[in-house]
Structure 1
């Protein structure tokens, strides 16, 4: 398995993975929305970056991440926005490898933490997350605009 930056030829496979991620979280997502996110990923000036897990020329999973300022600790952290592994590739270590890839990138940049959120009922993923990171006491709120 290889963890790497996505390439132009990955677009269709990445779209299928990202559509699977949206479906898992029951989020309506259009082709235009996926094209916009792909544009962000391909733009070195944009804050959103990505890694993909691939094996034998096939994409197994994706991770989208970005830096964020941590004023209280006067440091920069990394936020793992999206993590998804195709159902057929679950159990292969792809999710752990993607998280480790983001963490490696954060270490190279001097980030103090990699942070992410997940749904309370995402039990399978949380089993992995509990092994790789410390669950926090923070509660998340959304103020819709």
Structure 2
């Protein structure tokens, strides 16, 4: 059984391991000072939020980070699910769905109009889940690094 809980200061070692695995999965790098700031912002639970998924033994097996922002197409806000990662050995366990459901429940309580996220086009494993719990909008993502 998977349980979901808000990230606490005591979770730092487990969060670090999952966070680094997530960054590696996307073949990217995040400087240590950015990771430190991210963790502190998650702990503050003001602008950035986070939770861990744990297996039946209590071992952290996944993470999720999200934030809300004002939107022009609603009087409320949108909830952006920024990071979602489940340890490869625990994929298919329901942890990913539980993490998404956690964010969805939080967003409803917060009053957000919707939850949305991005993923890599070739991330077939994740997309198999996403196609079951959400609707693909067909939009293409662009960005400009500053």
TM-score (norm 1): 0.94
- Aligned pairs (5 A) from 1:1-145: 1-45=2-46, 47-55=47-55, 56-145=57-146
Structure 1: runs of 5+ lacking an equivalent: none
The alpha-carbon deviation at position 9 of structure 1 amounts to 1.5
**What RMSD over aligned residues (CA atoms) do the two structures have, in Å?**
1.1
Which ranges of structure 2 fall in alignment gaps of 5 or more residues?
none
Deviations 1:83-121 (A, max 9, x none): 000111111100000000000001111111000000000
- TM-score, normalisation: structure 2: 0.94
Runs of 4 or more above 3 Å deviation = none
Question: C-alpha separation between the residues in 2 aligned to 1:26 and 1:91?
Answer: 22
In 1: Cα distance, 2:74 partner to 2:33 partner: 37
Write the distance in 1 (CA, Å) between the matches of 2:82 and 2:107.
Answer: 14
